[in-house]
């Protein structure tokens, strides 16, 4: 897919009746807010008129390697951030 002209860590492109979803999270790790944005994007793509298929493409370096452990470690409340991240991944 075409990378947008402005920075976006998740985006989509449409070709015929298919929606291609891309994301470029650093090292493939996703924090809670990134998971939530990606889940919202995927849901919204599925609601586009004429779309029959939503394809998850990932990024150029990684599809996903799970939650962002650095965000958890840097949090003032790692237990809460871990819980938020797990809930966000489960979407």
CA distance 80 to 71: 11
Query: Average pLDDT, whole number, for the chain?
Result: 90
Distances (CA, A) of 8 to 21, 44, 68, 82: 12, 16, 18, 24
pLDDT score at 66: 85
Cβ 7 vs Cβ 42: under 8 Å: no
Q: Is the pLDDT of residue 76 over 60?
A: yes
**pTM (2 decimals)?**
0.84
pLDDT band of residue 1 (cuts 50, 70, 90) is low
pLDDT tens column, 12-49: 999 999 999 999 888 889 999 999 999 999 999 999 99
């Amino acid at each position: 897919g075409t990378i947008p002209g402005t920075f976006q860590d998740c985006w989509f492109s449409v070709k015929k009746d298919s929606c291609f979803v891309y994301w470029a999270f650093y090292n493939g790790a996703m924090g809670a807010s990134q998971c939530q944005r990606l889940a919202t994007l995927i849901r919204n793509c599925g609601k586009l008129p004429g779309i029959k298929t939503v394809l998850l493409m990932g990024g150029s370096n990684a599809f996903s390697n799970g939650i962002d452990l650095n965000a958890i470690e840097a949090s003032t409340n790692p237990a809460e951030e871990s819980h938020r991240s797990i809930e966000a991944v489960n979407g």
